Chains A and B, each alone.
Chain A
Amino acid sequence: MTDSADLERHYRRLLVFYPKAFREQHEQEVLAVLMAGAADGQRRPRASDCADLLGNAILAHLHQMKLHPSWDYRQVVRKSLAIEARHPRRSIIVRVAVGVWLLALTAFVYTAGPGGWWGALLVPAAALHFYLAYRLRHTLGR
């Protein structure tokens, strides 16, 4: 098998991680670009191209699920908080329950686990849940 056929096979295998719709639309184009950018006698995909393809495959899946990619996380947070605010009663219960559960988990890690400072890592998370529940209580009052 020639080097370039070998290389193309490797790249084609990486494209499997993309959503089906994306592959149907762009697979040949992406392969053409990858092969055009390959060095003479190159048999293996470059590590940077692999990372780029895998990362962008994940982005394509997120896009397909209508989720915003990570760089737009603020919008995701804002949206989920807005959804919570529409159902404050239920959300408060969930927030408090999660907070209590996290604290229980912390207590468990401290007593039964190997202990150490990292057991307290969950405390800020629990505090955040309590704070959000507290904020929701205000929407309830309005």
Chain B
Amino acid sequence: MQEATFLVLTALAGGSQHGYGIITDVERISDGRVRLRAGTLYTALERLAADGLIGVDREEIVDNRLRRYYRLTPTGEERLAEEALHLRSNAHAAIERLARIGGVATA
């Protein structure tokens, strides 16, 4: 799973959000490292919806424009949990080994 995809799913795990909400949330989650652009975001959303990991929660009209809110599906929750556990175990291994050579303190 690519980092952008992971972060989008993580954003939606906090509740349903619309496009710009996801972008600002992803920026916050990643400490400002990842700022998704509109094209990239909607390519990701299309793919995630096609894979059944996210769905449309509701639609609103704001300033004469359609605003669509997305939410995580149960399948999406499962995939995100799986990926999060993988990342944690990888990170744990890295930190442990680095601690052994005096790189960083064990978390």
> Is there contact, CB below 8 Å, between A29 and B66?
yes
Q: Which residues of chain B are within 8 angstroms of A29 by Cβ–Cβ distance?
A: 18-19, 42, 66-68
What number of B residues sit within 8 Å (CB to CB) of A? 18
Q: Which residues of B have CB within 8 Å of A54?
A: 39
User: Which of chain A's residues has its CB closest to B22's CB?
Assistant: A33
The interface on chain A, measured as residues whose beta carbon lies within 8 A of the other chain's beta carbons, has a size of 22
Which A residues lie at the B interface, using CB under 8 A? 22, 26, 28-34, 36-37, 48-49, 52-57, 59-60, 63
Chain B interface residues toward A at CB < 8 A: 18-20, 23, 37-43, 46-47, 62, 65-68
Q: How far is the CA of A28 from the CA of B64 in the complex (A)?
A: 10
Chain B positions within 8 Å of A55 at CB level:
39
CB closest chain-A residue, reference B45: A26
Given contacts A30-B38, A52-B38, 6 further A-B pairs with CB under 8 A are A30-B19, A52-B37, A52-B39, A56-B39, A56-B40, A60-B43
